[in-house]
Chains A and B, each alone.
Chain A
Amino acid sequence: MKRFLHFLILLVVWVMLTWSVHWQDLLVGFVVALLAEIMLGDIFPTGVVKVFYPRRFFWLVVYSVDFFWYVILANFDVAYRVLNIYLPIRPGIVKVRTRLKTDMARTFLANSITLTPGTLCVDFVGDHIYVHWINITSEDPEEETELIVRKFEKLLERIFE
């Protein structure tokens, strides 16, 4: 079941790349997707299939909208800091803690942290993430965790855990 879903995703990517439903193109896509799945199927992450349950998919849509809003905010934040003559930055590396366990959820969390306002994920050690923050506003680890991680963690828990 899991392998079949991977195969379908690969086939959809192939159809989007060639943009034709002629049977010869479909046959080549079929063979290529099958080969890729047989050779590399065991290195795909295991949590991907869970997303296609309806409830989790709904939360994925909510998460995407939320994520794009924060990405746009982040860009205006960076534009303000870069174009200001005095460079109002106060950088440093802080350490936050996450509750997420699965690899897929952690990957999404790290990418979300990197694209949201003023933060950049540097390293993962156990349950802790080291985050480079361009404008540190607090020195308390709990408060930092609240500010950086919580807003995504709640949604990602519903999607991937």
Chain B
Amino acid sequence: MSESIGLGLLIVGIAFDVVGCIGLVRLPDIYNRLQAATKCVTLGTCMILLSVVFYTGIGPISSKAVLCIWFVLLTSPTGAHAIARAAHRSGIRLWEGSFMDKYAEDHEGTEDKV
């Protein structure tokens, strides 16, 4: 029973991973790529780690898997946030089809100083 739940979680998680990586290749600019890749790959990897818990039962492997889920959930959005801010400050513009950019409007002149 628990093995079939683990198998289901594994399939869904890897499907999300594939979708995230396709998004990384298809979407037009860095911010959109960051969105697709961060969300999908984070949840996909968490589901794979959760399926480890269902496959192996309570024990050393599953306790480490739970810790790893916690670390990935905590670090991956923070890394995405750091990359987005660094990209914007280093002067990467949004895609031409973008709708508005309040951040560049508010920080008009500060880009040259940095």
Direct contact of A and B (CB under 8 A): yes
Assuming the contacts A71-B43, A72-B43, A82-B36, asked whether A114 and B100 have C-beta atoms less than 8 A apart, the reply is: no
A-B contact count (CB 8 A): 124
- Chain A contributes a number of interface residues (CB within 8 A of B) equal to 38
Distance to closest chain A CB from B49 (angstroms)? 14
B63 near A130: Cβ-Cβ < 8 Å: no
Q: Which B88-110 residues have C-beta < 8 A from chain A?
A: 88, 94-95, 97-104, 106
Given the interface pairs A75-B16, A92-B98, A93-B103, the reply to whether A120 lies near B42 with Cβ below 8 Å is no
Check B36–A94 contact: CB distance below 8 A: no
Within 8 A of A (CB), among B37-68: 38-40, 42-43, 59-60, 63-64, 66-67
Residue of B23, B31, B59, B64 touching A120 (CB-CB under 8 A): B31
CB distance from A109 to the nearest CB of B (A): 11
Pairwise interchain contact A120-B100, C-beta atoms closer than 8 A: no
Contact present for A114 and B77 (CB under 8 Å):
yes
Binds B, one of A11-19, A27-35, A45-53: A11-19
Least Cβ distance of B99 to chain A in Å? 4
